[in-house]
Structure 1
Amino acid sequence: MRIALQVTIVITGFCVMKICPNKETFYTKYGSNTMNVYLLHALVVLPFIYLVFPSFGEATWFEKIALIIIPTICCLPLFSNIINRLMKIILCQGKVHREKIADL
């Protein structure tokens, strides 16, 4: 049973790699910034959720819907080019800035 599961995992991994596009598409600009959103969303969403909303079990249906929609809207600016440039500078420790200076 364990070998069958491992074979299934390998096949699934191969299938996921095959469906990934190898050319630019209309959503490429969003996919290239997803790591920034992943790293920064907790700084935006968690304080908002803990301060504004009750726990999910105690929330009304309207609050549950708002609990999904409002944090999503709050994270949309994290896809911007400004955040992307800032995160490249922070994560690359200034390498991007040095490369731009070298290009001049």
Structure 2
Amino acid sequence: MTDILIVTGFSVLVFTLGIGLWALGQWLRSKGYGPQLDMLDRQYTALQLRVSPLAISASYHMIAGAHSMNRLPLLGSKSNAALTKQILMAMRAEQPTQKREC
């Protein structure tokens, strides 16, 4: 029961924070800071595009580690091992297409 309350509280907090940040952005735009916010957006988007391949690589290695652990006798099950294998195959299939897009 406490887990449900914690997840619900976290969800409400994150939702409220998101609405608050949106309202802050709207207020700053109404005060005339729109061009500066657009410049920050361009810089942040460029950073995301540079970091994205690294994040995909890191997530691939984490799932590969989980797949290795699922094959151990006491730490995993056959269904979890099969699921992580499917995820790894999907990620391998997706990686070459992302390299071509960049």
Q: Structure with the greater relative contact order (CA < 8 A, sep ≥ 6): 1 or 2?
A: 1
State the TM-score, normalized to the length of structure 1: 0.30
State the TM-score, normalized to the length of structure 2: 0.31
When you count helix as a share of all residues, which structure comes out higher? 2
